[in-house]
Amino acid sequence: MSTIDKFPIPGVSQPGQAGDAAPGSLLAELRQTAAEKRAVANVTVDIPGRWKGKLRARYGVVGLDELERFQDATQLSSSSNVAQSLEILAKACEAIEAFDPSTGEWLVLEDDLGPVTFDDRLARLLRWPRPDEDFTFPVRTVYETMFDGNGIALGSHVGRIADFMGLVEEDIAGEASTGGTSTPSVPRSPSA
């Protein structure tokens, strides 16, 4: 007889037992959280400014394999942290959707390669002027142009996606005073 059989943990299914975890147990709560995480596969965020009500972007998450490929590529470049962050954000973008007022539906913007995101394909679809046909707009420029150069609006957009990806934690103290707004997590100081 194992230790678990002699001293069962209240509310947790034991090895070898069939069935569900006891209602209200830690295991039941963890299973519920896992199910909720699986159900929320993406988030759709409006693009503000002149695009408000016309365009929105649907984001998923960036997998580890994609992140590793991205990291290898960026080690060879000299792009800024902002540019790198926007590159990762663009990798998480699944599609940009446009509102069709004639049907009242949101349609995915596509070219011959499929859904476009925040890269040169979007710039080509929108027919942005370019110095020559071979010129390619970098992701940073595409984001900056789509947000009319408004860093605050772009930062707010990024914040919504960071919240969805779990990169923002609730500030318990700020919840009462600010109505539950999210704040970015701050790294612990070395003295803590």
Residue 6 scores a pLDDT above 60: no
pLDDT reported for residue 172: 42
pLDDT tier at 40 (50, 70, 90 boundaries)?
Answer: low
Mean pLDDT of 151-156: 91
pLDDT tier at 150 (50, 70, 90 boundaries)?
Answer: very high
Show me where the domains of the chain are located: 42-165
Mean pLDDT of 166-189: 46
DSSP state of 184: E
DSSP string, 89-147: HHHHEEEEEEEETTTTEEEE-EETTEE--SSHHHHHHTT---SSTT----HHHHHHHHT
Mean pLDDT of 161-178: 57
Cβ pair 145, 51 in contact under 8 A:
no
The residue with greater pLDDT, 99 or 21, is: 99
pTM of the model: 0.64
Element holding 68 (H helix, E strand):
helix 64-75
Residue 190 scores a pLDDT above 70: no
Mean pLDDT of 86-98: 91
The residue with greater pLDDT, 187 or 90, is: 90
Residue 55 scores a pLDDT above 50: yes
Cβ pair 147, 157 in contact under 8 A:
yes
The rounded mean pLDDT for the chain is 77
Distance separating alpha carbons of residues 138 and 140, to the nearest angstrom: 5
